[in-house]
């Protein structure tokens, strides 16, 4: 895990601030930092998004490729998540340093995305299906990686366009795949069921939303809740070395449910708003 140098006096300052419901950047305990989101930023990907949450910078690219479905699930497509903690973010990620964190995030995503139906991704049952490779690049770490990664992934999947491919059986069981003549004839994935993560960081006796790196250093344990459609909970796990009391965990999960629901709605509105700007909208990329 990445860490920072931090003195006890600074820690006390943050603790006291959280207790007064006034954090050192002026936010309340349940406030998020401002986010910048842009989709369709990478040409060669089927879908992509870049999210900047204060200092956290995430770039996600989705590529759709054709694969053979699993024999135990012949009617569904596949999805796979890869996280790359770039050494640009912090020197601690150099070499294999970021591997543990990357594994944790990708396995959490895989579990949380269990709720997303992948039946549409099947082309010919038992023979071919789409496999979505979701590659996540962490360019900068400014705290709250889980939330920002999940939001960026959801936006990239929203942006993903999958070409129309038809499978026809020729001489009995051989399958022939036919790509439509117009390569721009695509369909979009339905991401309304896709979850987003809400991390609640325990600082002193209080739960804090969207922690900065400094705040993460003050807390002993956080709970990450993945929230799906209508505030349903689709996954829970704990990060950090500490533990929770029963009541704290129940409160945290309920709070995460409401916050996550709000977050999902806001994200949906933002994505629709961006799409309505049309294909010729102004692109910012990394220049902003």
Binding site for other proteins (CB under 8 A): 71-72, 100, 103-104, 106-107, 110-111, 114-115, 117, 221, 223, 228, 230-246, 249-250, 253-254, 256-258
Location of structure tokens 């939330």: 147
Q: How far is the CB of 107 from other proteins (least distance, A)?
A: 4
Outline where DSSP puts E strands in 118-232: 122-124, 128-140, 161-163, 165-170, 174-179, 186-188, 196-203, 206-209, 221-227
Element (H, E) at 80: strand 78-85
User: Which residues are within 8 A (CB) of 72 and not within 5 positions of it... i.e. 6 or more apart?
Assistant: none
Cβ-based nearer residue to other proteins, 84 or 104: 104
End-to-end CA distance of the chain: 29
- Whole-number minimum distance, CB 280 to other proteins, in Å? 38
Q: How far is the CB of 216 from other proteins (least distance, A)?
A: 16
Three-state SS string over 7-74 comes to CHHHHHHHHHHHHCCCCCCCCCCCCCCCEEEEECCCCCCCEEEEEEECCEEEEEEEEEEEECCCCCCC
Phi, psi of 140 (to 5 degrees): -150, 140
Of 17 and 228, which has the nearer Cβ to other proteins? 228
d(CA 164, CA 131): 14
CB of 231 to other proteins, least distance (A): 7
Is the CB of 168 or the CB of 192 nearer to other proteins?
A: 192
Contact criterion met (CB below 8 Å) for 47 and 62: yes
Of the two residues 139 and 249, which places its CB atom closer to other proteins in the complex?
Answer: 249
Provide φ and ψ at 263, rounded to 5°: -65, -45
Least distance in angstroms from the C-beta of 249 to other proteins: 5
Comparing CB distances to other proteins, the nearer of 28 and 254 is 254
The distance of closest approach from Cβ of residue 70 to other proteins in the complex, given in angstroms and rounded to an integer, is 9
Tally of CA atoms within 13 A in the half-sphere of 96 that contains its CB: 1
State the nearest-atom distance from the C-beta of 86 to other proteins, in Å: 21
Identity of the residue, 165 or 221, whose beta carbon is nearer to other proteins in the bound complex: 221
């Amino acid at each position: 895990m990445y860490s920072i140098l931090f003195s006890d006096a600074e820690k006390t300052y943050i603790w006291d601030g959280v207790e007064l419901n006034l954090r050192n950047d002026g936010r309340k305990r349940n406030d998020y930092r401002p986010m910048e989101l842009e989709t369709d930023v990478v040409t060669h990907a089927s879908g992509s998004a870049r999210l900047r949450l204060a200092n956290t910078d995430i770039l996600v690219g989705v590529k759709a490729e054709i694969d053979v479905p699993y024999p135990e699930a012949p009617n569904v497509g596949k999805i796979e998540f890869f996280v790359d903690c770039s050494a640009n973010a912090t020197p601690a990620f150099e070499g294999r340093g970021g591997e543990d964190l990357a594994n944790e995030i990708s396995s959490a995503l895989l579990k949380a995305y269990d709720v997303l139906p992948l039946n549409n991704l099947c082309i010919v049952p038992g023979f071919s299906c789409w496999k979505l490779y979701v590659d996540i690049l962490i360019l900068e770490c400014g705290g709250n990686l889980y939330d920002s990664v999940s939001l960026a992934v959801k936006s990239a999947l929203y942006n993903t366009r999958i070409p129309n491919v038809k499978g026809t059986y020729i001489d009995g069981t051989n399958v022939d795949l036919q790509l439509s003549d117009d390569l721009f004839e695509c369909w979009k994935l339905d991401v309304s069921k896709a979850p987003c993560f809400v991390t609640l960081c325990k600082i002193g006796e209080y739960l804090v939303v969207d922690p900065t790196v400094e705040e993460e250093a003050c807390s002993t344990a956080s709970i990450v809740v993945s929230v799906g459609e209508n505030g349903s909970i689709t996954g829970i796990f704990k990060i950090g070395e500490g533990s929770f009391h029963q009541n704290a965990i129940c409160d945290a999960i309920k709070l995460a449910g409401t916050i996550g629901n709000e977050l999902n709605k806001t994200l949906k509105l933002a994505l629709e708003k961006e799409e309505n700007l049309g294909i010729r909208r102004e692109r910012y990329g990394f220049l902003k």
